[in-house]
Amino acid sequence: MLRLISKFFIACFFFLSVTINAQVINIENKRFLNDTNGWIGNVDFNFNIYNNTQQVLQFSNAMRVQYQKNKSRFILLNDLNFIKAGNTDFANAGYQHFRYNYKVSKWLTMEAFTQTQYNPVLKLDFRYLLGAGPRFKLLKKENARIYAAALYMYEYDDIMNDNVNLYEHRISAYLTGSFTILKSVDFTTTTFYQPNLENTSDYRIANDSGLEIHINKHLNFKSTFNMLYDTRQPVDIPDLVYSFKNGLSIKF
């Protein structure tokens, strides 16, 4: 019984943490908001082993690198997650994302990107994306930023236990904003709309939002909401998946 309970909580934790982002990756909250030439980035590694009624292995790696050269910006992202309890793999998911931005004017930037990802938990054996298009700056002030984009995206999907591989042409449109309220509250939100150009009844809508309240210089409250609605999910995967998480961040 304890073994079943531990497996259940591990599965729930991982599902709420990465299910949404496994299908539609939001890179807006991974951009560095600096316009200075040069490199900036960070790399995180985590490796944990738990051994009680069974052995639990957990590994994660997240890399975020950005290079700015005058009007050009290069962004490289890598994210891997693995959780295994006993002989059961609860997670083996990840993605790699590369994006190039060229600033045409103060309000227009051209983007091009490529991405690979996988997530067997959601029956996604492999996905490859390639896209390009314009990104528009709608508002940029000290306490508010709003951007919108409509990119063409070629998509290849290899679904587990499905002999038919999918080759699709989509629009990847998004509206993203970040706002500072009363100097102590930060709110960010990004909404995606990804219709299939050859079948408009096949589309995805995703939202990734976060609220952070600075209680004092050592304590922050964080709340995040993630939602994905996909009209063409693989068999046994629900059309609508979402998570809502709350927590405290303590700074020393």
Provide, rounded to the nearest whole percent, the portion of the chain with pLDDT above 90: 44
- Supply the pLDDT for residue 174: 95
Does the structure show a pLDDT above 60 at 1? no
Beta strands in 104-183 (DSSP E): 108-119, 124-141, 144-159, 166-181
pLDDT 10s digits, 14-69? 443 444 444 677 777 777 767 778 898 888 888 888 777 777 788 888 888 999 99
Scanning the structure block, which residue is given the tokens 């700015």?
Answer: 68
Give residue 101's pLDDT band: very low, low, confident or very high (50, 70, 90): very high
**What single-letter DSSP state applies at residue 217?**
S
Provide the 3-class DSSP secondary structure of residue 147: strand
Does the structure show a pLDDT above 50 at 130? yes
Domain residues for the domain of 212 are: 2-250
Q: Which residues, listed in sequence order, are joined to residue 140 by a DSSP beta bridge? A: 145
Q: How far apart are CA 176 and CA 191, in angstroms?
A: 6
pLDDT 10s digits, 202-215? 999 999 999 999 88
| Region of poorest pLDDT, from 43-52, 80-89, 119-128 | 80-89
Q: How far apart are CA 211 and CA 190, in angstroms?
A: 12
52 close to 235: Cβ distance less than 8 angstroms: no
Residue 240, judged by CB atoms within 10 A of its CB (0-12, 13-18, 19+), counts as: exposed
State the total domains in the chain.
1
- CATH value at residue 33: 2.40.160.40
- Supply the pLDDT for residue 23: 66
Give residue 252's pLDDT band: very low, low, confident or very high (50, 70, 90): low
**What single-letter DSSP state applies at residue 231?**
T
